Amino acid sequence: MDNKSKALEFLRIPRASFYYQSILEEKDKKLKTDIENVWVKHPGYGGERLAIELQINEKRIRRVMKKFGLRPPRGRKRPRKSRWNDNGTIAPNLLVSLFPLFKNHVWVTDFTYLKWRNRWVYVATVVDLFTREVLGVSIKTCHGAILVAETLLNALMDNPPPSIVHSDQGSEYKAKLFKSILNECGIVPAFAI
């Protein structure tokens, strides 16, 4: 004991620090087993639901999960994206093998969002792929089928309908409203894959 005291004194380490044993380590191990037990019944629970189930602070749960590298055995199921149309056929990407040959042959459409006065504003455009001219524009504070349909209608007001309208496979372009406008004008839809 005398040698240990001299060594600690020489190294300037307090005796209390030398003999200290962390209680937190034992608590963390117990919490780890509690988390694993909850996952037996509910394998998809993340930090928030574990905190509710165990009635413990979520930060503590997340710290222990990170410390021991714990992950829920089953994650949240995400909706599967489909490349299929309503009738069961794959939506064609006609621009792979087709080059626009004249004005109003192929139109492309898309929308983007911009921050304006602390709000998101959505801007949709229709562009003639041959002339690179913007034919229709619509600006709204929410995006949806109405935004893209209004853009297409704006483009059709001053121009004859094109042969093909090309867009991405967003839900806005697969909406019944947008499809009905294409069908009424005899326009073939083409989707990027």
Q: Is residue 6 predicted with pLDDT exceeding 90?
A: no
Q: Which domains does the chain have, with CATH numbers?
A: 2-68 (no CATH), 94-191 (3.30.420.10)
pTM reported for the whole predicted model: 0.54
Q: How far apart are CA 46 and CA 35, in angstroms?
A: 10
| Predicted confidence (pLDDT) per residue in 21-80, tens digit | 888 989 999 999 999 999 999 988 999 999 999 999 999 999 999 999 999 887 666 766
Sorted by sequence, the CB contacts under 8 Å of residue 107 that are 6+ apart come out as: 126, 127, 128, 129, 135, 155, 162, 164, 165, 166
Closest of 111, 129, 126, 97 to residue 185, by C-alpha? 126
